Amino acid sequence: MTAKLGVNIDHIATIREARKIREPDPVTAAILAELAGCHGITAHLREDKRHIQDRDIRLLRGVITTHLNLEMAPTREMTNFAIDVQPDMVTLVPESRQEITTEGGLNAAAKTDDLTQIVSALKNNDIRVSLFIDTETDQVKAAKKTGADFVEFHTGRFCTAFELGSTAEFERELSALQDMVLLAQKYGLRVNAGHGLNYRNVGYVASIDGIEELNIGHSIIGRAALVGMDAAVKEMLAAIRRCER
């Protein structure tokens, strides 16, 4: 089964917010990505609202025809917002005001009780829940305890090793990802992956059996700035399909 593609449209909003005007519009970008053949739209509504805004999520919910994956911090305020908007899925992620982008996975092992309450509240309102975690055994076990439906493995360390050309580190991170996908499946968790994936490295992750969807933003949006959203999405889909299992 070929991994599906979820397009993260956050950085369209990043460009817009640089001038606090109305364009470019992330909702329009999402529609174009869907028309190009992606399988879902991902948007991270950060507590500091540095890019995606509440209004964007509400508009996306009204127009998305594939599925809407809302990334958010595991807080009561965000949980209430998600229940009101009803995305198809919520992915719980860590947040830090100082970070440029998400720097690692959620420490589910240290926050199992709190996460369990949030997961339960979302699932009781018919929202699927994923935890964005690192490729570590204790994090997978904790994700299972929370009652989450999915885990999304943070692929940042793998991508860094790939870019640095460190063969040993690259092989170690790829092996860890493969092992944790198997462990997650053993616990009955479905698996997505993302962070730092691009046109050069996506094939290695797409070829891992058991990963259902790859959530990719920065690389696609950067490419779209040069060739347009339609071509950028289609090129990523082609890169994924070249590794069809």
Residue 128, helix vs strand vs coil: strand
Whether 154 is a known active-site residue: answer no
Q: How many CB atoms lie within 10 A of CB 101?
A: 12
Whether 39 is a known active-site residue: answer no
Q: Which residues in 205-227 are b (16+ Cβ under 10 Å) and which e?
A: bbbbebbebbbbbbbbbebbeee
**Listed residue (123, 121, 185, 124) closest to 153, CA to CA:** 185
Gap between the Cα atoms of 132 and 153, Å rounded: 6
| Residue 181: partners with Cβ closer than 8 Å, 6 or more residues away | 153, 191, 208, 209, 210, 211
Candidate list 11, 39, 51, 71, residue with the active-site label: 71
Q: Strand locations in 73-207, DSSP E?
A: 89-92, 128-133, 150-154, 190-194
Candidate list 11, 34, 39, 44, residue with the active-site label: 44
Candidate list 11, 39, 154, 195, residue with the active-site label: 195
Whether 51 is a known active-site residue: answer no
Q: Give catalytic residues, as residue numbers.
A: 44, 71, 195
